[in-house]
Chains A and B, each alone.
Chain A
Amino acid sequence: AQTVTQSQPEMSVQEAETVTLSCTYDTSESDYYLFWYKQPPSRQMILVIRQEAYKQQNATENRFSVNFQKAAKSFSLKISDSQLGDAAMYFCACADGLTFGKGTHLIIQP
């Protein structure tokens, strides 16, 4: 069975600074996807970034990047130049999204 652990229930960062959200996972799959989703107060789930496990290069989407450590089963999300609109719940997910972490509430301090 897959498990996904987000050890930070809440994180706070000053606007324009960088923050890293942690995620560890466990899966018996040899090939899989990893995702970070953002859920703002509107409740809509929004895909932030995706990583394919067979790719060694870390995925990047504008201000969002990941640090994917396959051997350590670690998949952290780095948000650079934090903006007020980044405030949301962030969920890490493994494989086809069958397993989600419990989420990290990100607060942006103006």
Chain B
Amino acid sequence: NAGVTQTPKFRVLKTGQSMTLLCAQDMNHEYMYWYRQDPGMGLRLIHYSVGEGTTAKGEVPDGYNVSRLKKQNFLLGLESAAPSQTSVYFCASSAWGEQYFGPGTRLTVT
């Protein structure tokens, strides 16, 4: 039972490049989330999904897109990366109000 996994763990992008972060969970959870964590800011919700085929905006959605084509996967895309998107990104899934977090992805945009 792997829980929540994230790919990749680290990435460096140049401004304007695009990339996709993959989150996968094997717990059959309906709810999945993408957060970013910046120093002194805690975790801020980017987008979330309440089930396969659904997505919704969180607190800081600008510059990001998401897709939930399969229940177990939640993808976060950056179409044109900016230095302000340098952050640690966490994925989580939840059931019965309890969230399970992935190990995080450290993204640096230069």
Query: Are A91 and B99 CB-contacts (below 8 A) given A43-B88, A97-B92, A97-B94?
Result: no
A to B contact number (C-beta, < 8 Å): 49
Query: Are A43 and B104 CB-contacts (below 8 A) given A97-B33, A100-B43?
Result: yes
B interface bracket (residues with beta carbon within 8 Å of A): 20 to 34
> Which listed residue, A43, A44, A98, A101, touches B42 by the CB 8 Å rule?
A101
Q: Cβ of B90 < 8 Å from any Cβ of A?
A: yes
Q: Are B97 and A103 in contact (CB under 8 A)?
A: no
Query: Are A91 and B43 CB-contacts (below 8 A) given A44-B103, A47-B99, A98-B58?
Result: yes
Q: Are B41 and A102 in contact (CB under 8 A)?
A: yes
Bound Cα distance from A103 to B38, whole angstroms: 11
Q: Cβ of B98 < 8 Å from any Cβ of A?
A: yes
Q: Cβ of B101 < 8 Å from any Cβ of A?
A: yes
Residues of chain B within 8 A of A6, CB atoms compared: 42
User: Which residues of A come within 8 Å of B, CB atoms?
Assistant: 6, 9, 33, 35, 43-45, 47, 50, 52, 91, 93, 95-103
